[in-house]
């Protein structure tokens, strides 16, 4: 059989790079960047090459597993579905609909089948106890989009292809390849900005890989970004620097007046006190931002997952708006994708419609904050979660207080996991349903075309055939839903209304045909390198979905949040913990791929030389890092890239728990950042977990 060349999109991170895959006899020979890809133009990162390792990983599950008498056995799909449906529906019959909880992890939006077919399955169970990675990642972005522009998915992205000034807070796009901003080859894009005379400024407690390539880096005390952002708004409004341009008729002048009053006390001098950045540098930064031909302020996880993350993303949008850099080339702009997920207005705001039963944290978008999940399982009483369904997620390693989450899952009556590994979370399951994955699956990056810095469309057919008897994720959700409906009818006589059945390709084809460019799947299949739809264009006011077709620039929830901030106090004593990301590791399951973990240990605790000297700590020594909820022992790495008083530990490690089948990950176990994260630390506005600026203690272990 001859060697075939297949073209597809990498779905491991948000950059959606194009791949050229050489295949012979259903065996992957090589993976390289597709130089003809209209979006990525040949760029890839090490993760893309690792897709071959993922496909060939002997630890990857390919048939359903059921736990009997504490042992895992292979069963047929029919038996697995039947057991899963019985456990789910019996729990709901006995305890009520909300006794079943659902958690969906970050890879959900990276998989087309899960994106299109899991929502119907989740809705069919009618439980209010739904959770996802959103509330430990990007909920602040969605909340601001819903309240300011009318749809939680109508999120502006930096037009970095044309900007002259890119201000980055709490983000490291050189490593993330963009986050809430789909942009392959960030290194090249940074160079392009600088080559045209522009500037890149990074604000971060760590001198990141992005900061190294930037024109300027300013250290900032972890968790204090909101003071910097509000002081920039203060400078704009109190120095008559506001310039709304074509948006002037889209904004209520009274709201601007209210913002000015609200930020009156948030001066550069106060920001200096809180952030550690000199007031003169804040003034200079703001002046440079305002004087640039085009500029854009961008904030990511270091901002969104902090105590005032929700308010901070309102402030970022507001800076872009007030400076005349919104819906404008080179500023913050909206995409115009072939499948538009933000075209409909919600009848009501999807926020605070119900609350978690223990702490009363608010629902958003149909989900409760994941920080409440463990206590909603462990706390007895009406509404207690007795059974869980997880999909594409490992919350024991990815949600705050992983030790408590571990105990919570162990206490469940029943658990079903849709996952490709027997990991720290799925080991608690009664049934594991493993989908085909990676190169075996068709793909269209719906979520990330909606966040891309350039409009394009691309469909990928599978590069290799899935193993015999394997199921795609969309088949699993569809067939499990049918099994639950049939068992429910058998037990209660309650029938779930029939719905039209579609295949994955049929659903995608409909979405494309209803989109603004009226494409179809047949056309995309004729363009394996994608279709270029063009640069970002002005979308306002036409696409606003607010009640009055205006930008709601100062919603009540943010007015209240500023008032809370005004009354708050900040304790600066002791160390503060922040996370970090490695280019080869953006999800815990990647640690089972040798190519992703080979080389020096990357799960270390960064500590500044001044702090290390005071504690007599040297690089390579094992130190103890502890918080209010846990402690870990980890290798120290003394480095000036971290600011004094701050410790940085990467996210997603901690593969030293028993009962998992991830041989390579266990050899490179590391420690779990989330064993230190306190689930009770949340953004008061949104309930989002605080995973930046966590108070910790550090000590050297006795020799």
| Residue 202 shares a structural domain with residue 271 | yes
CB atoms under 10 Å from CB of 699, counted, come to 12
Whether 650 and 673 have beta carbons less than 8 Å apart is answered as: yes
pLDDT tens digits along 234-260: 999 999 999 999 999 999 999 999 999
The tokens 């009962």 sit on which residue? 659
The answer to whether 679 and 371 are in contact (CB under 8 A) is: yes
pLDDT at 702 over 80: no
Place of tokens 């080559």: 195
Whichever domain contains 388, its CATH number is 3.40.50.740
Place of tokens 């919104």: 326
CATH code for the domain of 21: 3.30.200.210
Note the pLDDT of residue 583.
78
Cα angle 516, 519, 520 (rounded to 5 degrees) comes to 140
Indicate the residue among 490, 525, 560 that finishes a domain. Answer: 525
- Residue 143 and residue 365: Cα distance in Å, rounded? 9
- Residue 42 sits at the vertex; the CA angle it makes with 38 and 44, to the nearest 5 degrees, is 120
The token pair at 650 is 């990467």
Q: Residue 258 is encoded by which pair of tokens? A: 């209210």
Q: Which residue has the tokens 């990991």?
A: 423
The domain boundary residue, chosen from 332, 367, 387 = 332
Q: Are residues 184 and 312 in the same domain?
A: yes
145 part of a folded domain: no
Beta strands in 143-262 (DSSP E): 157-158, 165-169, 199-203, 216-218
| pLDDT for 570 | 65
Residue 339 lies in a domain: no
What's the pLDDT tens digit per position in 432-449?
Answer: 999 999 999 999 999 999
Whether 440 maps to a domain, the answer reads yes
Cα angle: 395, vertex 633, 664; to 5 degrees: 60
> What is the arithmetic mean of pLDDT over 646-669?
94
Q: Could you tell me if 92 and 33 lie in one domain? A: no
130 and 247 housed in the same domain? no
Q: What is the pLDDT of residue 211?
A: 97
- The set of residues, in sequence order, having a beta carbon less than 8 Å from that of 680 and lying 6+ positions away, is 359, 371
- 266, part of any domain: yes
Inside any domain, residue 547:
no
- pLDDT, tens only, 149-200: 999 999 999 999 999 999 999 999 999 888 899 999 999 999 999 999 999 9
Q: Which of 32, 56, 80 is the last residue of a domain?
A: 56
Total domains, the chain: 4
Q: ω before 541 within 30° of 0 (cis)?
A: yes
DSSP 679: T
Residues 357 and 503 in one domain: yes
Based on the domain organization, do 456 and 484 belong to the same domain?
A: yes
Q: How much is the pLDDT for 624?
A: 97
Domain that holds residue 248: 157-332
- List, for residues 604-628, the tens digit of each pLDDT value: 999 999 999 999 999 999 999 999 9
Task: Using the structure block, give the residue that is written with the tokens 């990007």.
Answer: 138
Report the distance separating Cα 438 and Cα 462, nearest Å.
9
Dump pLDDT digits (tens) for 336-345. Answer: 999 999 988 8
149 found inside a domain: no
- Lowest mean per-residue pLDDT among 94-98, 108-112, 160-164: 108-112
Is 85 within the bounds of a domain? yes
The b/e string for 15-29 (b: 16+ C-beta within 10 A; e otherwise) is bbbbbbbebeeeebe
Supply the pTM of this predicted model: 0.96
Whether residue 147 lies inside any domain: the answer is: no
203 and 131, same domain (yes or no): no
DSSP at 436: P
- Pick from 407, 378, 380: which is nearest to 395 by CA? 407
Phi, then psi, of 175 in degrees rounded to 5 = -100, -40
């Amino acid at each position: 059989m001859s060697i075939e060349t297949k073209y597809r999109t990498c779905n491991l991170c948000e950059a959606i790079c194009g791949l050229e895959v050489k295949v012979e006899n259903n065996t992957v020979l090589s993976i390289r960047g597709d130089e003809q890809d209209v979006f990525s133009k040949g760029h890839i990162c090490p993760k893309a090459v690792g897709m071959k390792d993922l496909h060939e990983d002997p630890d990857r599950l390919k048939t359903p597993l059921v736990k009997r008498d504490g042992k895992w056995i292979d069963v047929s799909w029919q038996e697995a579905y039947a057991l899963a449906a019985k456990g789910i529906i019996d729990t709901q019959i006995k305890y009520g609909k909300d006794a079943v909880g659902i958690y969906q992890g970050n890879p959900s939006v990276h998989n087309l089948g899960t994106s299109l077919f899991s929502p119907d399955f989740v809705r069919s169970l009618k439980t209010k106890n739904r959770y996802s990675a959103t509330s430990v990642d990007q909920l602040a972005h969605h909340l601001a989009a819903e309240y300011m522009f009318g749809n939680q998915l109508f999120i502006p992205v930096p037009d970095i292809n044309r900007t002259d000034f890119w201000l980055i807070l709490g983000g490291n796009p050189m490593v993330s390849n963009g986050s809430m901003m789909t942009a392959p080859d960030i290194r090249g894009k940074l160079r392009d900005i600088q080559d045209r005379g522009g500037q890149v400024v990074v604000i971060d407690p760590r001198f990141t890989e992005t900061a190294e390539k930037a024109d300027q880096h300013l250290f900032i005390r972890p968790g204090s970004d909101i003071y910097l952002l509000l002081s920039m708004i203060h400078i704009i409004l109190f120095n008559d620097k506001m310039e709304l341009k074509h948006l002037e008729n889209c904004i209520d002048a009274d709201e601007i007046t209210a913002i000015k009053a609200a930020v009156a006390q948030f001066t550069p001098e106060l920001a200096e006190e809180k952030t550690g950045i000199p007031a003169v540098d804040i003034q200079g930064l703001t002046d440079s931002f305002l004087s640039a031909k085009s500029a854009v302020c961008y904030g990511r996880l270091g901002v969104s997952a902090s105590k005032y993350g929700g308010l901070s993303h309102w402030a970022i949008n507001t800076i872009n708006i007030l400076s005349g850099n919104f819906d404008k080339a080179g500023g913050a702009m909206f995409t115009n994708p072939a499948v538009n997920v933000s075209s409909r207005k919600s009848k009501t705001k999807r926020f605070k419609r119900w609350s978690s039963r223990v702490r009363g944290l608010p629902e958003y978008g149909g989900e409760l904050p994941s920080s409440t999940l463990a206590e909603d399982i462990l706390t007895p009483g009406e509404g207690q979660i007795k059974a869980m369904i997880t999909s594409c997620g490992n919350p024991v390693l990815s949600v705050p207080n992983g030790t408590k989450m571990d105990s919570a899952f162990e206490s469940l009556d029943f658990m079903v996991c849709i996952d490709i590994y027997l990991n720290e979370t799925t080991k608690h399951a009664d049934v594991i349903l493993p989908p085909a994955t990676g190169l075996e699956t068709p793909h269209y990056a719906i979520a990330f075309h909606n966040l891309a810095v350039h409009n394009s469309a691309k469909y990928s057919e599978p590069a290799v055939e899935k193993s015999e008897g394997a199921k795609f994720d969309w088949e699993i959700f569809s067939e499990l839903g049918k099994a639950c409906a049939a068992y429910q009818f058998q037990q209660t006589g309650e029938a779930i209304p029939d719905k039209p059945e579609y295949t994955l390709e049929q659903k995608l084809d409909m979405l494309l045909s209803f989109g603004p460019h009226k494409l179809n799947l047949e056309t995309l299949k004729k363009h394996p390198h994608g279709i270029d739809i063009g640069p970002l264009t002005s979308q306002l006011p036409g696409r606003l979905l607010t009640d009055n077709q205006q930008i709601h620039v100062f919603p009540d929830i943010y007015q209240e949040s500023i008032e809370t901030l005004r009354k708050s106090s900040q304790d600066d004593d002791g160390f503060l913990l922040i996370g970090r990301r490695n280019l080869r590791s953006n999800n815990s399951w990647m640690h089972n791929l040798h190519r992703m973990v080979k080389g020096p240990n990357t799960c270390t605790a960064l500590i500044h030389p001044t702090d290390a000297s005071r504690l007599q700590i040297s690089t390579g020594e094992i130190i103890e890092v502890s918080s209010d909820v846990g402690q870990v022992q980890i290798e120290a790495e003394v480095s000036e890239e971290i600011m004094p008083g701050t410790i940085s530990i990467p996210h997603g490690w901690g593969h030293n728990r028993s009962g998992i089948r991830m041989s390579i990950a266990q050899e490179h176990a590391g420690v779990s950042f989330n064993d230190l994260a306190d689930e009770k630390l949340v953004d008061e506005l949104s309930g989002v977990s605080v995973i930046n600026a966590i108070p910790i203690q550090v000590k050297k272990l006795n020799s």
